[in-house]
Structure 1
Amino acid sequence: MKIGFRVIKTAVGTGLAILMAKWLGLEFYTSAGVLTILCIRETRQRSIESAVEKFISCIIGSLFAAAAFKLFGFHPWVITILLLLIIPLLVTLKAGNSVSTSAVVILHLFMLGKVDGLTLLNELGIIVVGISFALLMNIIMPSSEKRLKEYQELVEANFKKIFNEYAIYLRYGESDWDGKEILETQKLIQEAKEEAIRDVENNLLYTENDYLRYFEMREKQFEIIQRIMPLVSSLDETYEQNLIIADYLERLAQGIHPGNTVSLYLDELREIRQNFKKSPLPVERKEFEVRAALFHFVNEMQRYLLIKRELFVQATKRQKRSWKSVFMGTEEGK
């Protein structure tokens, strides 16, 4: 059995919320702990969204219940009418997941059998205490930096392995590779993107981060890697051009890292294309098909490299905008 950090936060926050609500002398003080449990989510952003949703639903429940019980008295059928009105309203307000918390408030007032300023203040106190401790607990969030770095290293290692295996096949026309890195990489990129999104949601000052952009870039590159796999497998005969591409892929594999070395490999790719054009024409059909496949392969690799270059172009633009805003702000300050 494994106890995660979120479980610990939920347990501690729930106990503190109940303790505070009891100390304040609130009736149904245990409900504050229930609210804390419901509002603690995976990220700060989701926790805030849940807290706002629960707060709105509780206020709506309190107001509707106060009006209905005042007008019609404390009867079970009044609760039925209230839920028939409140549930569609909360769904319309996109707070349908908080129907249960609104119902709890309604049932509290029903059990007390009275609606006055003190009872409504009691419910408000429960809501505020429960939500406050949930938000307080979610201030503490573990850093995703280490995990994201691990994902980055694993994805890059798999990219290197795949390119090296492609090179082996192009060089020898056969390989005993089982292709497991293809499936692994697809899963790793998806998990890494989810982790990066959680990191964004835990940092409320920005809507995306460098890791999210990085893994989105790798995802696009991986689509090309998958696309060229059947192309490589069709090149089962060795020609001079195969060996040139194999050498290139081995060098490219060694250069896979977060840094920007795209221009170097693009230049080399252009040279390979020019050399292919200068090569003697194929003398047999099979060689012609191989040459055509290799040209297609070179074009795909160019797209692969341009995807990464675009990442650095966009990063440079963001940096320039950032510096521009700083200088403009300084001028305005003067």
Structure 2
Amino acid sequence: MKRFSIGYRTVKTAIGTAIAIAIAQYFDLTYYVSAGILTILCVQPTKKKSVQAVYTRFVASLIGMIFAFVSFELFAYHPLVFAGMLLLFIPILVSLQVTDGFVSSAVIMMHIYVAGHFSWTLVGNELALMAVGYGVGLAVNMYMPDSQKELTYYTTRIEELYRTIFLKIASYLRDGDTSWGGQEIIEAFQLLDDAKSIAFKDVENHFTRRQNDYYRYFDMREQQLEIMDRMLPKITALPIIVQEAAIVADFLQDLGEHVHSGNTAHHYREKLTQVKEDFAQLPLPQNHEEFLAQAALYQFIEEMDRYLEIKQSFIGLKLAKKRPN
């Protein structure tokens, strides 16, 4: 069974619903509990989605009031008329791209149906319910918890996993250690997926922000991880450990010990160039197995160059600019 918990969105929904009902009841609005329903519909995961929710529901509710007036007054306050009205009303909401507001608009139309007549007093009451319900929903959703701590945690944890991956590969190339199962790669993919989701929400909670440095950072790390996942079989399938393996191991050891959010990729690309030069000075393969091993390591360092190229295109996170590496 899933662990019981109460999130901040649940708390906001409960508080906002109570406030909306209390305000509507204080002003003696008919159907005052509906203000709470409208508030519930407007509490969304992010600020931008909440604003969009208020917009779609307000537009749909106004259109619904017009449809109710025309349909009920022109024909009759009858269930079949209501059904016929919905047959036309829903496609119009779809064409206007405000289908999310259908439920709230249906609440307004049902109020008119129950009233059995259309008057300016009823219109004023429904507009007041909309103002209270949507207004309170928007107000309580303006508070969003700061995601900086979570984003920092994910950044640190992902870098730890990358560090472990490089050191494990270096250990294999140097000592032939095959005990590592690659579980850090699986965990890193999952963490990156979660981290990008949080970073995207952070953008959605700022009206003037169109991008997030953390989102671009995690996206960059995801591209690197795909390269790491692709190149790992080239290493684990080495038929024999050749001299080049020790050179690559030293490079990965150095790289793994200096994984961080800053941008020192240019420095390590220069080191990778030196690795290639060291490769060129080594003797040619003496047999087929040595040839296959050397070819795999050459492919590996080309993939590592692509890995570093991706990092080099990223300016680095601000929190990392103070770090020495």
Q: TM-score, normalised by structure 1?
A: 0.92
Distance in 2, Cα, partners of 1:237 & 1:166: 15
Correspondence for 1:27 among 5, 10, 30: 30
1:236 Cα deviation (Å)? Answer: 4.7
> For 1:289-308, what aligned pairs fall within 5 Å after superposition?
289-308=292-311
Q: CA deviation at 1:285?
A: 1.1
- Give the Cα separation in 2 of the matches to 1:183 and 1:95: 40
Q: 1:38 and 2:32 equivalent? A: no
Residue 162 (str. 1) matches residue 144 (str. 2): no
**Unpaired segments of 5 or more residues in structure 2?**
319-325
Contact 1:164 1:249 in 2 (8 A): yes
Q: Across the two proteins, how many residue pairs are aligned to each other?
A: 315
Offset of 1:101 from its aligned partner?
Answer: 1.5
| Divergent runs of 4+, >3 A | none
Pick the aligned partner of 2:85 from 73, 82, 85. 82
Asked if 1 retains the 8 angstrom alpha-carbon contact of 2:262 and 2:315, the reply is no
1:89-100, aligned counterparts within 5 Å?
89-100=92-103
Aligned residue number for residue 322 of structure 2 = none
Residue 226 of structure 2 corresponds to 223
Partner of 1:272: 275
Provide structure 1 residue ranges, at least 5 long, that are not aligned to the other structure: 317-334
Q: Note the C-alpha offset of 1:240.
A: 1.3
The aligned amino acid for 2:76 is G
Alpha-carbon distance in structure 1 between the residues aligned to 2:65 and 2:23: 21
Residue 186 of structure 2: aligned partner: 183
Q: Which one-letter code corresponds to 1:199 in the other structure?
A: D
Alpha-carbon offset, residue 238 of structure 1: 1.8
Residues in 2 aligned to 1:137 and 1:100: alpha-carbon distance in whole angstroms: 21
Report if the CA contact (8 A) 2:241-2:293 is conserved: no
Name the counterpart of 1:5: 8
CA offsets 1:302-321 (integer angstroms, 9 cap, x no match):
000010111129x99xxxxx
- Assess if the C-alpha contact under 8 Å between 1:36 and 1:130 holds in 2: yes
Separation (CA, whole Å) in 2 of partners of 1:31 and 1:232: 64
Provide the C-alpha distance between the structure 2 equivalents of 1:156 and 1:107, rounded to a whole number of angstroms: 55
> What is the match of residue 195 of structure 1?
198
- Separation of aligned partners in 2, 1:125 and 1:66: 18
Q: Quick one: distance in 2 between partners of 1:260 and 1:104?
A: 55
Secondary structure at the aligned position of 1:197 is classed as helix
Match of residue 60 from structure 1 = 63
Match of 1:108 among 90, 107, 111: 111
Per-residue deviation, 1:67: 1.4
For 1:6 and 1:303, locate their aligned partners in 2 and report how far apart those are by CA, in whole Å.
Answer: 42
Q: Output the CA distance in 1 between the equivalents of 2:251 and 2:15.
A: 56
- AA aligned to 1:11 is A
Q: For each residue in 1:84-136, what CA deviation from the matched residue of structure 2 results, as whole angstroms up to 9, or x when unmatched?
A: 11111112222223222221111100111111111111111111110101110
Amino acid at match of 1:149: T
Letter in 1 for 2:46: T
Contact kept, 8 Å, 1:20 with 1:129, in 2: the verdict is: yes
Q: Normalized per residue, which structure has more helix?
A: 1
CA distance in 2: counterparts of 1:264 and 1:107, whole angstroms? 68
**Partner residue of 1:286 out of 245, 264, 289:** 289
- Please, which moves more after superposition, 37-46 or 88-97? 88-97
CA distance in 1, matches of 2:315, 2:309: 10
1:234-273 → structure 2 map (5 Å cutoff)? 234-273=237-276
Mapped partners of 1:40, 1:57: distance in 2: 17
In structure 2, the partner of 1:142 is: 145
Letter aligned with residue 250 of structure 1: Q
Q: CA deviation at 1:266?
A: 0.6
d(CA) in 2 for partners of 1:60, 1:236: 72
Counterpart Cα distance in 1 of 2:312 and 2:266: 8
**Farther off after superposition, 185-194 or 260-269:** 260-269
| Aligned-partner SS, 2:90 | helix
Q: Which residue in 2 is equivalent to 1:329?
A: none
1:126 aligns with 2:110: no
TM-score using structure 2 length = 0.94
User: 1:258-310 deviations in whole A, cap 9, x for unaligned?
Assistant: 11111111111001111212222111111111111111111100000010111
Aligned equivalent of 1:324 = none
- What is the one-letter code of the residue matched to 2:216? R
Question: Offset of 1:246 from its aligned partner?
Answer: 0.5
Alignment partner, residue 174 of structure 1 = 177
